[in-house]
Chain A
Amino acid sequence: QQQVKQSPQSLIVQKGGISIINCAYENTAFDYFPWYQQFPGKGPALLIAIRPDVSEKKEGRFTISFNKSAKQFSLHIMDSQPGDSATYFCAARGMAGNMLTFGGGTRLMVKP
């Protein structure tokens, strides 16, 4: 059972544009929501994360928006660059310890 649904599966954005990736979750016990960036041949790299008591978090060009009542959160990449072309995964943690449930991933391509 997929507990974190991610959309879209793929995304093409022009350089300088805004990339938006959305995730929805079902389990209200989730208490931590990270985003990971993965390049081909590499492991996922932690990008930015948020807790449900905060509605927005910004780090550089990356912003997470969180809607607890809707059980949704999204990643916004401002001024998207070709170097941002990668696969992005949202995730959620809800148990004691560090078990992450991942979304299906979004393949982002930023065209120059």
Chain B
Amino acid sequence: DTAVSQTPKYLVTQMGNDKSIKCEQNLGHDTMYWYKQDSKKFLKIMFSYNNKELIINETVPNRFSPKSPDKAHLNLHINSLELGDSAVYFCASSGGRELFFGEGSRLTVL
């Protein structure tokens, strides 16, 4: 009964392809996030949603499109993948100030 679960855990794809990562939380939280962790382990927020509404968009290229069908799910779709998109993408949720993270989805773009 994982609190924040992401799929897939690993994703290897070619440049120019489109891919999606799914995230679900069973904590009853209203807010969900996507963070990107680069090869140097630096963590940067990409988006946050509160009850299906976009709250934070940190100047992420519009090739990245988050979608929240309900407050328990936040998916990330990436169009026209580039080499620089290779990273680990973490989903997180929050009911207050503390974030609960998923295990991450490692995306490798060849």
Do A and B belong to a common assembly? no
B residues with a Cβ closer than 8 A to A are: none
